[in-house]
Structure 1
């Protein structure tokens, strides 16, 4: 015997052991004869703890427990749908649907009805290797209402692939079709119910909530789903989560349960969270809400799960209106014509079952008080609309449409034939029909994507007790608001439920404690900003070219600081540069015209042009100091000007050395002098100095960069100083040191030649130029070590122009003066006489 067959055999023996023979009951509430039978599992009575029956080997009597009004209402929906289909001439013409309905007592009576449906009419379940052609008592099962019971029943029915369409079990476990291949649902899964809750809380800016769950699989599973969803959201935190004590079947709480209940109520009294989400069966909440009223808890917003969102018995506790606002998630409202009247009509006994033996009956197929109690809640049930009722109604119609396709029905008749459950299951997956204006089908997980409603409890007898305020679409995963909420608060203001008040723009959240919803507001410092869409807990630094003030949410571009033409210092230095350019150009032309004269030759001859040309180019390039720096202007500032200036200094230095050598050292070191003349010593010296200079400049630029950068003004962060590079000043100081050395050497040689003839004595002019160069360079270095910003560029600009002017006018100016105004002194005879006079004085 195979393991599965052995298991079914044992369950069958248990069925006979538990089932007590009962008399035949012709009760059309639970049984209707037909060609094809549907099984129905509903909770008409409920024992909340559902464990007392485990103490003895007997099926519990459900009518000993408290009645569940909604359960009977749903059972009536199945009966109404079957009778409506039987009276319809187009869906299943000539076919009579029947039903067997059993009260599952919430969780206490699940196995026995499952076995009852599996067995054949003779109460036997044969042991077979292949059940493909096996005909159980029913061809499909509608229900039960809760996930735990649905899973239990499905574990039995799935072995036989008997279609099971549940109307209210929302557990995500049921989406696993490998485990539950025959399970279908006419309600969205728990994930969609949770998503509707979360979007509701996000809409009203509630981020501080309390979660209460029942001590069963329903409460624990949905509480865990909500917690996981909130972790992914990150915007909503749970202040605390507690497990509600489940009362005994007598609805009394023991000492331990009462202590636990008091602890929960005390936390609700003192917590700052105003939103309470409750996942629990409705029968476990009666005592809880009585205690809430007794403790006089007010100002709360209660969010109900689908299990009690439209429970008329809880709604009948009218004192609950003083505890706050009640919102709930439930299936959409669809009015079913004729059902309100059918729900409270008396049963007509005596239905016959043609071509069948006497109908069987099992325990828990009686409810003497059901109709009377339902009549007392008829007004609430009618005004609330047919919500879960429509899920039962559509489940029956789904089976009927699948049967319609199997029996190849037309408008007149159907071909009656044996319908095996597994064939019906295949057709159920493919049904797609319209029912009361709704397009119905099953998705890949076996769920029917019905709309969900967010409802608010009302206690005005003239209104719908469960008024829709929003609608959630499982396909679009979006909540749409259709009505305003009537808040039970002063001035109808939306309740605030936040661990911390919202921060002002430009304030970041500093976490306090473990919850991200609890924080302090800290101002973002200047230079930082807050992008709430990216990160609410950290102020982001502004990019280098931008800045921000305190509490800014964006950065603005800094004001760029650089030397501009309209500034007074720029205009003054530009005038000096223009003077230097035109005066140098004039000197160049004068020297070119009088190149063969003794005055030009005594000044250096052709070497003068080696000085004048760089001077002229340098004066022409001084505009690179003005305007925003670029790679080219930085190159000119760091390389071109310092090379030109060094050329001039090296020429002056070699010229002063040459004068001393001619008049004092020629006769002492004749060979050295001859070598100096033969190998063009002056030009070799200038080239050597230039090689050293250019090597230093190139190394400095390679070590840093010539690309301009921006630096924050230390005195004003709103200003960005544009400069060449961070080590610009260091490179400038390094180059100045070499120029200082040349100035000092030139000054020394010039001082040594102070006693030379007047026409050849250039010591005072060289001394003046070198002294000015030395002084300006020292001043620039001192200024750069103290100040920063555009002033450094201005000072560098000024010193560069003045140094070139000192050479141009200080060295060449006096000679031009002599050439232009004393031409008689610019003759070989005059120069020879001056030399002879100097020689005679020395003798």
Structure 2
């Protein structure tokens, strides 16, 4: 649009323009007395940028007239687009007088570009040249967004390449009485206006007065404008004319406010002979605030009106021609995000009803983050999955965020879910198997005790120290059952019970085995002539030995529980994606002291059993104890590295397995051979066979 202004002068210093849109005219330091009724190009640039953003277009092309209007307007648009996060693939300028090669180059840029949306801030004459060039070799479908200078020009509607174009336009208005005035003009009134004279003579192909250089006939006064097929009679599309209308009324209101004063609350007194000063009219112009013909008129501190535009769309009619359709409004005075109101369906490029997509990169879904492509604008990026342990619950985010400690990302990494809690439970196969063996082992110990009790009077039971045997079977049953405390969700009581019960019952078990081993050795020595050693290791001493060794373990466990007992914890470090419920040792020294004491007794018992394994008596248990202690020691030696290296609930499973394996080793090696003789070889269960050298 030209910066030529319609200037209405009241004295020499007040100017009101209906047509000048240059943003530079808003500078009150340079133009203190300038007002206008048409919004400046700054508002238009902001409106176009928000329009592009409104439809989600972030990757656009930009072309402009190589003139003050195009260059200044596009500069303002690019600044506004940058604020809205819009990226520009290319920005080209051209002018109607440029050589065709320059116009072709701009057209080729549009054809080759990946941006679907093209924003054109250009004058109608320049756009006509470019669109003619594009029509020669059509480009892929492009969605045109236009400034009001060309997008509302009815002469441009012949270019089908721009079907679906959308842009902003100056508001239309039907000025009351204007059409009647135009169609009722007499030839004499027309002849008084050079503009109307030219129109009249062109429309009717006649001349209103004789001219030397014309061959037209003289108008005879019978010409009828009502019969004329011309846009002259169409006053429904008056945009710039409406700005003139508002400008005239603005000046009229300012003058009225200078010459008229309120005499009282109901009377207005006007002095038509008042000599007005330009400063008075200027002061009143700044205060102008009225509505005329359905439009509000006022000026801001820069002399600009409130920026309101129509949203216009190029739509094909049923006849196939392109029509300019108003589809909405833009009001810059409304809150951010509410400036646009669209009240009609919009036709897009090539008549499509779906909003076209114009982005450099597709939107990054939740669970991913944007990574900018090197050397390209911020709208061009790749989508990469969030790192392990992090999520992103927003689209097009540049960052991922870690989940809280007890949460873990979903498979899509878009939400944090509570980590599954893992522990060895009775509901899983491994827990069921271990619990079954525990209960089965306890039942085996009870059944063995029942067999021994039923045959307590037989030689083999008497020869193997029945009292210690029953105490050993009782302790073995407790060892089997104590493994059950390791299954299930850890609690304060279970963490303390499982380790102390295990430590005490095993010491009780090993103490009984140790007692039986000592009895074997002492019994052999007692058979030697003159040796009365068994009187120092009778039943009372055997009981005291078991109690003494067990009390030491009880003392160790008591100190452990008092000073730093085991307690349940949530292990968040072994596995990142789940929580392991387990028992912390509290004091590692206490735990290893309990194990170390058991190991010390087992080694002592093993050494004594080895020493007595070759004693000649058939009732000698030393061989059986040697094997049982060998199994016991092998199990617990291999337990240590397995315990340290096993993760999560398998640590507990390894501990239970060690308990069961060593306990089964004891009961099988020591008691199964005897039960076999008692139940299936009763003929050998006699004192004679026990005293024989060979069975």
The two structures have a TM-score, normalised by structure 1, of 0.56
Does structure 2 conserve the Cα–Cα contact (< 8 Å) formed by 1:282 and 1:307?
yes
Partner of 2:21: 146
Query: Which sits farther off after the overlay, 769-778 or 529-538?
Result: 529-538
1:567–1:488 CA distance, 2 compared to 1 (3 A): closer
2:121 to 259, 268, 279: 279
Match of 1:468 in 2: 326
1:167 aligns with 2:37: yes
Q: CA deviation at 1:653?
A: 7.9
Q: Does 1:197 align with 2:52?
A: yes
Residues 194 and 571 from structure 1, CA distance in 2 versus in 1: closer, same or farther, beyond 3 angstroms?
A: closer
| TM-aligned CA deviation for residue 419 of structure 1 | 6.2
Query: Distance in 1 between the 2:309 and 2:315 partners?
Result: 19
- Secondary structure (helix, strand or coil) at the match of 1:223 reads helix
Distance 2:82 2:584 in 1: 47
Distance in 2 between residues matched to 1:349 and 1:691, nearest whole Å: 130
Q: What's the CA shift string for 1:687-740, capped at 9, x where partnerless?
A: 7667778999999999x9832448669xxx9xx584538999x99999867755
Q: Which residue number in structure 2 is paired with residue 263 of structure 1?
A: 105
Counterparts of 1:348 and 1:150, CA distance in 2: 40
Aligned mates of 1:192, 1:579 — CA distance in 2: 83
Alpha-carbon displacement from aligned partner over 1:739-788 (angstroms, at most 9, x marks no partner): 55543332113333557898997645644553343344356568779986
Among candidates 599, 602, 605, match of residue 746 of structure 1: 605
**Partner SS for 1:100:** coil
Q: Which position in structure 2 is the counterpart of 1:622?
A: 484
| Kept in 1: contact 2:511–2:545 (CA 8 A) | no
Q: Is the 8 A contact 2:520 2:620 kept in 1?
A: no
Deviates most, 330-339 or 458-467: 458-467
1:569-598, Cα deviation, whole Å (9 max, x unpaired): 54454344346668889999999xx9xxx9
Task: Indicate how the Cα distance of structure 1 residues 783 and 117 shifts in structure 2: closer, same or farther if over 3 A, else same.
Answer: same
> 2:505 & 2:24 partners in 1: Cα distance?
98
1:482 aligns with 2:334: no
Aligned pairs for 1:681-700 (under 5 A) are: none
Q: Which residue of 2 aligns with 1:26?
A: none
Secondary structure of residue in 2 paired with 1:480:
strand
For residue 151 of structure 2, what is the aligned residue in structure 1? Answer: 309
| Cross-structure match for 2:630 | 771
Instruction: Report the CA distance between 1:240 and its aligned residue.
Output: 0.8
Tell me the residue number matched to 1:326: 165
Residue 227 of structure 1 corresponds to which residue in structure 2?
78
Preserved contact between residue 505 and residue 552 of structure 1 (Cα < 8 Å): yes
Distance 1:292 1:439 in 2: 41
Partner of 1:535: 397
Counterpart-to-counterpart distance in 2, 1:384 and 1:737? 103
Change (3 A) 1:263 1:633: farther
Q: 1:345 to 1:508 in 2, by over 3 A?
A: farther
Stretches of structure 2 that go unaligned for 5 or more consecutive residues are: 204-228, 677-690
Distance 1:723 1:411, change over 3 A: same
Superposed CA deviations along residues 5-59 of structure 1, whole A, max 9, x for unmatched, are: xxxxxxxxxxxxxxxxxxxxxxxxxxxxxxxxxxxxxx8xx5x9xxxxxxxxxxx
* Aligned pairs (5 A) from 1:353-502: 368-369=194-195, 372=198, 379=231, 382=234, 385-397=237-249, 407-409=260-262, 413-416=268-271, 432-438=289-295, 448-457=305-314, 465-474=323-332, 475-476=334-335, 477-478=337-338, 479-487=340-348, 489=350, 495-499=356-360
Q: Residue 299 of structure 1: SS of its match in structure 2?
A: coil
Number of corresponding residues: 630
**Residue matched to 1:643:** 503
Question: Whole-Å Cα distance in 2 between the matches of residues 613 and 304 of structure 1?
Answer: 94
2:91 counterpart (241, 250, 256): 241
Does the aligned pair in 2 maintain the 1:458–1:465 contact within 8 Å? yes
Distance in 1 between residues matched to 2:284 and 2:326, nearest whole Å: 34
Aligned partner of 2:222 in structure 1 is: none
In structure 2, relative to structure 1, the CA distance for the partners of 1:298 and 1:428 (3 Å cut) is same
CA contact (8 A) 1:625 1:633 kept: no
Shift of 1:650: 6.5
Residue number in structure 2 paired with 1:95: none
Q: 1:490 to 1:216 in 2, by over 3 A?
A: closer
**1:743 aligns to what SS in structure 2?**
helix
Q: Deviations over 1:638-672 (max 9, x none)?
A: 8445534564467458757976997899999x9xx
Q: Secondary structure at the match of 1:241?
A: strand
Deviation at 1:211?
Answer: 0.7
Contact 1:278-1:305 at 8 Å conserved across structures:
yes
Would the alpha carbon gap of residues 372 and 349 (structure 1) be closer, same or farther in structure 2, given more than 3 Å must change?
closer
Following TM superposition, by how much is the alpha carbon of 1:277 offset from its aligned partner in structure 2, in angstroms? 0.7
Indicate if the aligned counterparts of 1:619 and 1:801 stay in contact, CA closer than 8 A: no
The alignment partner of 1:273 has SS state of coil
SS at match of 2:164: strand
Q: Distance in 2 between matches of 1:753 and 1:444?
A: 114
1:706 to 569, 572, 575: 569
Counterparts in 2 of 1:725 and 1:220: CA distance versus 1, 3 Å: farther
- Structure 2 vs 1, CA of residues 706 and 197 (structure 1 numbering), >3 Å: closer, same or farther? closer
1:117 aligns with 2:12: yes
Tell me the TM-score normalised to structure 2 length: 0.66
What is the CA-CA distance between 1:271 and the residue it aligns to? 1.8
Pick one of 48, 54, 63 that aligns with 1:212. Answer: 63
- Give the Cα separation in 2 of the matches to 1:402 and 1:641: 102
Cα shift at 1:208: 2.8
Q: Distance in 1 between matches of 2:196 and 2:601?
A: 116
Taking the aligned partners of 2:107 and 2:138, their CA distance within structure 1 comes to 10
Residue 129 of structure 1: aligned partner: none
User: What residue number does 1:574 align with?
Assistant: 435
- Aligned counterparts of 2:62 and 2:313: Cα–Cα separation in 1: 19
Alpha carbons of structure 1 residues 698 and 813: separation in structure 2 relative to 1, 3 Å: farther
Return closer, same or farther for 1:664/1:581 CA change in 2, 3 Å cut-off: closer
SS at match of 2:426: coil
Q: Is the 2:328–2:341 contact (alpha carbons within 8 Å) kept by the matching residues of 1?
A: yes
Structure 2 CA distance, aligned partners of 1:367 and 1:735? 119
8 A contact 1:277–1:303 mirrored in 2? yes
Tell me by how many angstroms 1:150 deviates. Answer: 1.9
Deviation at 1:620, TM superposition (A): 5.7
CA contact (8 A) 2:36 2:247 kept: yes
Distance in 2 of aligned mates of 1:468 and 1:735: 89
Provide the rounded CA distance (Å) in 2 between the counterparts of 1:780 and 1:380. 104
Deviation at 1:268, TM superposition (A): 1.6
- Is residue 305–residue 328 contact of structure 1 (8 Å, CA) maintained in 2? yes
